Amino acid sequence: MSRITLSRYLIEQTRSHNTPADLRFLIEVVARACKAISHAVSKGALDDVLGSLGTENVQGEVQKKLDVLSNEILLEANEWGGHLAGMASEEMDKAYQIPGRYPKGAYLLVFDPLDGSSNIDVNVSVGTIFSVLRCPDRNGATGDLGEEAFLQPGTEQVAAGYAIYGPQTMLLLTLGNGVKGFTLDRELGGFVLTHDDIKVPETTQEFAVNMSNQRHWEAPMQRYVSELLAGESGPLEKNYNMRWIASMVADVHRILTRGGMFMYPRDNRDPSMPGKLRLMYEANPMAFIIEQAGGAATNGSQRILEIQPTSLHQRVPVFLGSKEEVERVTAYHQE
Ligand code: AHM
Ligand code: MG
């Protein structure tokens, strides 16, 4: 049987679901950029791309060389094609303007160019997360694009995905009708559909959380995790396993593969930071993918996808994965 490449999948989506040609082009360009990032990541010390630059991003985090390189790869790949009205990224304070010499398009692209970058230097999986929105005011796109254009709830995403740079490089994608997984075939130089119709099992016996923050958590989270740890003799009456990779892409990828529960809750370390993860380019795209795979994603009190963003780099608590567990911890927060 002939293999289904990403291009073929996208063209068939145009036929079956009216996926617009410029959205198809956008996804292909993002995939191409992820291929280039995958190549850079895999070179590591051979190309002197490991380590930090000594600069900080807008969130005050030290930038790794590969954070900045990946950001540049995505910007350069996407700025000239005429499919975007603007871009925003974890690594840039403000929205990125499409240079005046290029045409502008209908979409906005938001990304975390290299998620999990604390793992780069130790050769553990990292990834790229992206979210696609429509530009609300096409006329506005003729002048400078402000941050407001991006501040749309996750329900408005027209596509989302991530690339994971692990033992294999994979691209996970949703256009709003299920989740597909593509594996990079390095000999062919392209992504090939290998995981059709990805589903998150509704129940699980595995959770992911950074336990070192336990003393900072709020009461509902303390209760939930103590129940998980109590195992068979506790109220949940089953034993749970724990995994924490500290790369959201890798933890989410495991959950899409065999189920599980991912948590980065609110904690009381810094009152200005309601959680660690960013809504626009981490929580929203992952929530869209997880829901499309039959799982759930909340901030403890509401669906992540329904949160009205107030700023580009806003942080949110995140609970996502197998439905039964997300519903349980959300109910504890609502009590
Ligand atoms: P980053 O985008 O700066 O890499 O930070 C996000 C990452 C997530 O991938 C991961 O889930 C989390 O931070 C790990 O945090 P911690 O180091 O607190 O365990
Ligand atoms: Mg990140």
- Model pLDDT for residues 170-192, shown as the tens digit of each residue: 999 999 999 999 999 999 999 99
Q: For the whole model, what pTM was predicted? A: 0.96
Q: Cβ(89) to ligand 1 under 6 A?
A: no
**Backbone φ, ψ for residue 90 (5° rounding):** -55, -30
Q: Distance between CA atoms of 126 and 119, rounded to whole angstroms? A: 7
Ligand 1 in reach of 302 Cβ (< 6 A): no
* Shared fold status for 6-195 and 206-334: no
Contact 100, 153 (CB under 8 A): no
For residue 275 the two structure tokens come to: 């959680």
Question: pLDDT class for 1, splitting at 50, 70, 90?
Answer: low
Instruction: Check if 47 has its Cβ closer than 6 Å to any atom of ligand 1.
Output: no
Gap from CA of 264 to ligand 1 centroid (Å) = 9
Q: Are strands 206-208 and 261-264 parallel, antiparallel or unpaired?
A: parallel
The CA-atom distances, in angstroms, between 210 and each of 179, 196, 244 are 27, 31, 6
Q: What is the pLDDT of residue 142?
A: 60
Residue with CA closest to ligand 1 atom 4: 116
CB 245 within 8 A of CB 125: yes
Distance (Å, rounded) from C-alpha 64 to C-alpha 45? 13
pLDDT digits (tens, 9 = 90+) for 120-152: 999 999 999 999 999 997 654 467 899 999 999
In the chain, where the domains are located: 6-195, 206-334
- Alpha-carbon gap, residue 5 to 158, rounded angstroms: 21
Residue 67 Cβ < 6 Å to ligand 1:
no
The confidence score (pLDDT) of residue 178 equals: 97
What would the CATH number be for the domain defined by 6-195?
3.30.540.10
Ligand 1 contact, 243 CB (< 6 A): no
**Closest Cα to atom 14 of ligand 1:** 246
Q: Alpha carbon 247 to chain centroid distance?
A: 10
Residue 181, strand partner residues: 172, 195
pLDDT digits (tens, 9 = 90+) for 53-80: 877 877 777 788 899 999 999 999 999 9
Whether 267 is in the pocket of ligand 1, judged by its Cβ within 6 Å, is no
Give the residue, by CA position, lying nearest to ligand 1 atom 11. 248
Element (H, E) at 157: none
- DSSP assignment of 34-56 equals HHHHHHHHHHGGGGT--SEEEEE
User: Is 206-334 in CATH node 3.40.190.80?
Assistant: yes
